[in-house]
Amino acid sequence: MAGVFDIELHDGDSINQDESDDDIVENREEEYNRTTNINTILESDNLERVQLSEQNVNAGQEKTGPQDFELCKILGEGGYGKVFQVKKVTGKDKGSIFAMKVLRKASIIRNQKDTAHTKAERNILEAVKHPFIVNLMYAFQTGGKLYLILEYLCGGELFTYLDREGIFLEDTACFYLSEIILALQHLHNQGIIYRDLKPENILLDGEGHVKLTDFGLCKEHIEEGTVTHTFCGTIEYMAPEILTRSGHGKAVDWWSLGALMFDMLTGMPPFTGDDRRKTIEKILRGKLNLPLYLTPDARDLIRKLLKRQVSQRLGSGPEDAEQIMNHNFFEHINWQDVISRKLEPPFKPSLKSADDTSQFDEQFTATVPVDSPVESTLSESANMIFQGFTYVAPSVLEEMCAQPRIVNARSPRKGFLSTGSLHSLSSRSPDGHIRTTSHFHQHRHHVVGSNNIEDTEMADIGPLFNF
């Protein structure tokens, strides 16, 4: 499915000439009867008249809405909406468990950047399919809300495991880093920068494998050598070139990977301060202090990922992830086994069932799930901004199409049947943070947009998906 919100035709775009004969209509004048009276045709008793309705237009699509999902638990909540665990109560996948991200249009539309980030996340979730990236199953909207139905990742956040363990052994960190690297490599190959890598945005599935979530800060259409200037991300993991607004590209994700690796192996990101200004100062000018207990390969990889000069940073060249994958820290990794999910996860979530929510914060899961009513309705012109939001995953459509469909009609002709800003608002200020966790994680700072260092703090939605 091509552009969801925008369909653009660029100069030089080619059109596939290898068309099926079914798409070609030959106009043979000798076979066309110019004396045919149209009124006679319309008055004929042989015509079948059909009333157009939602039931017979685009009948091949599965039409979904809030009514098709039963609310089970709340998994997270924030300024833009909520994340629910839901059960599908209709259709071929009836009984399946999903995560439902609900966003209020009125909150998003107030800010142009928020609207752009919402569109970007929606487009990216549809376009990107990868073993280590969360799957979008459905998307739909009502007059006042947007709904994203994603696979339910019952393993919870990597943040939870890191917070519980304090630090990871290098073998454990190597496992998670290898899966994350392949996910980032896939995004980069699609011209997408992730820009918000941190333990809260890394979820685990039921087997313990990684899934990247929250694509609200991603930047699309970034080619080799091009840069963008948006000031966004979680400061402790932000690359220097984002902070200085000097223009950044895909290499910012490799800086964040280095900060994440340091966090896994030491229990803290490499540069932290009592407030945002001090943290930024340390990122730009502070000395990198590596614990002596790290192995030489781990120390070397962290140093090379946390190079302030982008051109010197590992992964900044055209080879991108390949440079990192070839580092000695990963010498025992078989990358084909990684992508095939053959490596044994270091932590296998202890789950009682497919709908188990034990890995999520009881502050949310113990609350009665209610999708609150919309207080205001957008105008027709405002709603046009979200035109094309609806989506059904190809896997769902394939399952539908696998079943034969019987059509009774007089005409022998065959019809054609057609199918977080949502920015990641996870403020880490003591007041904004809503979970009880380690001292450091209560003080992370998340910013988006604005040219002012004192960007407005944004409330944390909690686990699963941050808006």
For the chain, helix (H) and strand (E) counts, in that order, are: 14, 11
- 462 among the known binding-site residues? no
Calpha distance 161→211 (Å, rounded): 14
Angle in degrees, CA 324, 327, 332, rounded to 5? 115
Annotated active-site residue 356? The verdict is no
79 annotated ligand binder: yes
| Euclidean distance between CA atoms 377 and 145, whole angstroms | 9
Task: Please list, residue by residue across 217-245, b when 16 or more beta carbons sit within 10 angstroms of its beta carbon and e when fewer do.
Answer: bbbbebeeeebbebbbbbbbbbbbbbbee
**Is 310 known as a binding-site position?**
no
Contact indicator for 335, 183 with CB cutoff of 8 Å: no
At position 74, the amino acid (one-letter code) is I
Buried b (16+ CB within 10 A) or exposed e, 54-92: eeeeeeebbebeeebbebbbbbbbbebbbbbbbbbeebe
For residue 362, say whether it is annotated as part of any ligand binding site.
Answer: no
Q: Has 315 been labeled as part of a binding site?
A: no
- Complete DSSP assignment for 207-232: TS-EEE---TT-B----TT--B---E
80 marked among binding-site residues: yes
**Is 95 part of any known ligand binding site?**
no
- Active-site position among 68, 114, 196, 361: 196
Q: At what angle do helices 251-266 and 296-305 cross, to 10 degrees?
A: 140
Asked if residue 397 belongs to a known ligand binding site, the reply is: no
Are the beta carbons of 460 and 266 closer than 8 angstroms? Answer: no
What is the Cα Rg of the chain in Å?
Answer: 25
The DSSP H or E segment spanning 122 is: helix 112-127
Kindly state the tokens that stand for 284: 């730009």
Who contacts 419 (Cβ-Cβ below 8 Å, separation ≥6)? 1, 58, 60, 61, 392, 397
For residue 407, give the nearest of 47, 50, 22, 63 by alpha carbon. Answer: 50
Tokens encoding 345: 């996860």
The secondary element (H helix, E strand) that includes residue 158 is helix 158-165
Q: At 310, which amino acid appears?
A: V
Q: Which residues are annotated as a binding site for ATP?
A: 75-83, 101
Q: Which residues are annotated as a binding site?
A: 75-83, 101
| Residues assigned a catalytic role | 196
